[in-house]
Amino acid sequence: MTTGNGSAGEGRRFEGKSVFITGAARGQGRSHAVAFAREGADLAVSDICADVATVPYGLSRDSDLAETVRLCEAEGAKVLSEQVDVRDYDQVKAFADRALAELGKFDVLVANAGIFTFGTLTEMSSEMFDDMINTNLKGVWHAVKAVVPSMAERQYGRVVLIGSSSSLIGYPNVGHYTAAKHGVLGLTKSLALEQAANGITANCVCPTGVHTAMLENEAAYALMSPDNPTLEAALPVLASMNAIPRSWLEPEDVTDLVLFLASDAARYITGAEMKLDMGLTAS
Coil/strand/helix, residue 242:
coil
In the set 171, 177, 221, 268, the catalytic residue is: 177
Task: DSSP letter for 62, please.
Answer: H
Residue 221 bears catalytic tag = no
Segment holding 103, helix H or strand E: helix 89-103
CB of 26 within 8 A of CB of 59? no
CA neighbours within 13 Å on the CB side: how many for 244?
A: 9
Euclidean distance between CA atoms 162 and 207, whole angstroms: 8
Coil/strand/helix, residue 168:
coil
CA-angle at 112, arms to 108 and 115, nearest 5°: 170
Show which residues are catalytic. Answer: 177
